[in-house]
Amino acid sequence: MLKDVEKGVAENDTVPSEDHLNFIMTSDVFDHVVMHPEQSYEAFKKVAPFVTMEQVHVTAKWMLGFVGYYGKAAAPPPTAIVVCTPTQVYDEPGQKWVPFQITEQEIVDLLTSVGDKSRDEAMNQVEVPDSLLKDQ
């Protein structure tokens, strides 16, 4: 996590002004404290030693646990699922940018198939650093 915050500091000058404005406005709506990325990084460095991987896992399960029950009888009540995707992806064989296409049904199919996948199959869907998979 510390590396992600550090990366954010390094990339701060490359973020469009509109993105900064949206971040500040959203933070204001939720009464979040807005700091310059360097201030945020320094604060995070002070807190990071007190955050354990177990706490991160517990929080992630609490926040994202509903995904594992999608489409099953034991599922919690319906909720909204927001999917953030790129508008284009780079087609390496064709060496050009192409539109990224995904349908609602493809997302539903993916969510309903997660429970049927082995751990290895599920991990192939996204790149997960090995450091996050310890003791799993």
Q: Tens of pLDDT along the chain (136 residues)?
A: 788 888 888 888 887 888 878 888 888 888 888 888 889 899 989 999 998 989 988 888 888 877 777 777 777 666 677 788 888 888 888 999 999 988 888 888 877 776 666 666 665 655 556 666 666 5
Q: Is residue 135 in a domain?
A: no
Together in a domain, 45 and 73: no
Q: What is the 3-state secondary structure (H, E, C) of the chain?
A: CHHHHHHHHHCHHHCCHHHHHHHHHHHHHCCCCCCCHHHHHHHHHHHHHHCCHHHHHHHHHHHHHHHHHCCCCCCCCCCCCCCCCCCEEEECCCCEEEECCCCHHHHHHHHHHHHHCCHHHHHCCCCCCHHHCCCC
Co-location of 43 and 86 in the same domain: no
User: pTM for this one?
Assistant: 0.42
Residue 59 maps to a domain: no
Do 78 and 120 reside in the same domain of the chain? yes
What is the span of the domain harbouring residue 43?
A: 1-51
Is 44 found in the same domain as 75? no
- Confirm whether 29 is domain-assigned: yes
The answer to whether residue 14 sits within a structural domain is yes
Same domain, 47 and 76: no
